[in-house]
């Protein structure tokens, strides 16, 4: 501590000519924040492992059960989405990471440091969302291709597999990456809205995984409509090559899914601008 008093002014060394919290700088800072905590690496690993692992299991199982399958089931068979069926779990990993990008700032109190160094709240939120979306999309895309290539060999002996050149297959595999990014943004939106990890994770799990299949219990045409537009039911169409009657087309479904995170994120942003930090 002897260095102290003298050292209180090593300060006149040149700092950048134009100091300030510009968006690219805040994004760089958010990148550092994201990758300087261990949970990020573990969560991304969980995304990759769960998606590819379950995809392989589903592909192996489908191939194994193929002789017992009915003609109707065989007609509905989608080799691409089967190899990517692990996305159902992978989406939760990325959603949890999305939640924590925001909620960890509030649970640790770090938000007060972040907003003191970057007082423009929308700039901070935008930087977080952009950096996280980029990471989620790149890792999601790699995962999606990984699951596709790990799954298809199981189908090759029966000649029921798909290749990237087949109609809709490339779109579905890239769509898997898009779906991961959108699921991450859904988590981020829940985090911005609720600010607490437990609540936001619960909301994400419920709305992405638990509630969508339950909607099938609703009766009649309006019940079908709810099913069609409900979060992951709509979003996952982008990673399918076969659409069954009740569901939306791939891009419309993905568009609807995007509304599922855009609306809460917009509300979360509005609240963030108004609430005390």
Partner 1 sequence: MIEVRGLTKRFGDTLAVDDLTFDVPPGVVTGFLGPNGAGKSTTMRVILGLDRPTKGSALVNGHSYAKTASPMREVGALLDAKDVHGGRSARSHLLAMAQSNGIPARRVDEVLELVGLQSVANRRIKGFSLGMSQRLGIAGTMLGNPQVLLFDEPVNGLDPEGILWIRNFMKTLAHEGRTVFVSSHLMSEMALTADHLVVIGRGRLIADVSTAEFIAGGSTNHVRVRSPQHAQLAALVEAQGIAATPVDSYLELRGITCDEVGDLAAANGITIHELFQERASLEEAFMELTRDAVEYHAPAPAQEVAQ
Residue ranges in contact with partner 1 by CB under 8 A: 1, 3-5, 7-13, 15-16, 18-22, 25-26, 28-30, 32-33, 36-39, 104-105, 108-120, 274, 276-277
Residue 109 DSSP code: S
Biggest CA–CA distance in the chain, Å, is: 83
Q: How far apart are CA 123 and CA 128, in angstroms?
A: 9
Q: Which is nearer to partner 1, 16 or 67 (CB)?
A: 16
Residue 132 near residue 26 (C-beta atoms within 8 A) = no
Smallest separation (angstroms) from partner 1 to the CB of 27: 9
The owner of tokens 């007609």 is: 75
Q: How far is the CB of 274 from partner 1 (least distance, A)?
A: 8
Given CA atoms 71, 77, 79, 84 in this order, what sign does their dihedral have? Answer: negative
Closest separation in Å from C-beta 197 to partner 1: 13
* Contact of 167 with 158, CB cutoff 8 Å: no
Q: Which residues contact 273 (CB under 8 A, 6 or more apart)?
A: 121, 122
Distances in Å between the Cα of 168 and the Cα atoms of 108, 183, 243, 275 are: 45, 21, 11, 45
Comparing CB distances to partner 1, the nearer of 30 and 78 is 30
Decide if 132 contacts 192 (C-beta within 8 A). Answer: no
Q: With H, G, I as helix, E, B as strand and everything else as coil, classify residue 53.
A: helix
36 or 70: CB nearest partner 1 = 36
Supply the minimum distance, in Å, between the C-beta of residue 185 and partner 1: 22
Please say which residue, 3 or 72, places its beta carbon nearer to partner 1.
3
CA dihedral (176, 181, 183, 187) in degrees, to 10, reads 160
By beta-carbon proximity to partner 1, the closer residue of 22 and 243 is 22
Q: Which is nearer to partner 1, 33 or 228 (CB)?
A: 33
Closer to partner 1 by Cβ: residue 113 or 263: 113
* Cβ within 8 Å of residue 197, ≥6 positions away: 99, 100, 103, 104, 107, 191
């Amino acid at each position: 501590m002897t260095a102290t008093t003298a050292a209180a002014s090593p300060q006149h060394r040149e700092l950048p000519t134009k100091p300030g919290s510009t968006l690219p700088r805040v994004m760089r800072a958010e990148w550092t924040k994201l990758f300087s905590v261990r949970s990020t690496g573990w969560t991304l690993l969980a995304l990759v492992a769960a998606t590819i692992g379950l995809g392989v299991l589903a592909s192996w199982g489908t191939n194994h059960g193929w002789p017992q399958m009915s003609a109707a089931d065989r007609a509905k068979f989608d080799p691409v989405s089967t190899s990517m069926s692990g996305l159902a779990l992978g989406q939760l990993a990325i959603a949890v990471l999305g939640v924590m990008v925001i909620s960890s700032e509030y649970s640790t109190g770090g938000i007060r440091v972040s907003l003191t160094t970057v007082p423009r709240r929308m700039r901070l939120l935008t930087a977080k969302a952009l950096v996280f979306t980029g990471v989620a999309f790149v890792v999601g895309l790699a995962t999606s291709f990984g699951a596709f290539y790990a799954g298809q060999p199981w189908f090759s002996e029966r000649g029921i597999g798909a290749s990237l050149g087949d109609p809709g297959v490339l779109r579905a595999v890239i769509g898997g990456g898009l779906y991961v990014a959108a699921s991450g943004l859904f988590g981020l939106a829940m985090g911005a809205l609720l600010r607490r990890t437990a609540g936001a994770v619960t909301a994400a799990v419920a709305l992405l995984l638990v509630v969508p299949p339950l909607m099938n219990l609703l009766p009649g045409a309006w019940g079908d409509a709810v099913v069609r537009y409900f979060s992951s039911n709509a979003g996952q169409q982008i990673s399918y090559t076969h659409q069954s009657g009740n569901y939306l087309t791939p891009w419309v479904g993905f568009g609807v899914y995007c509304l599922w995170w855009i609306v809460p994120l917009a509300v979360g942003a509005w609240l963030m601008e108004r609430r005390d930090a």
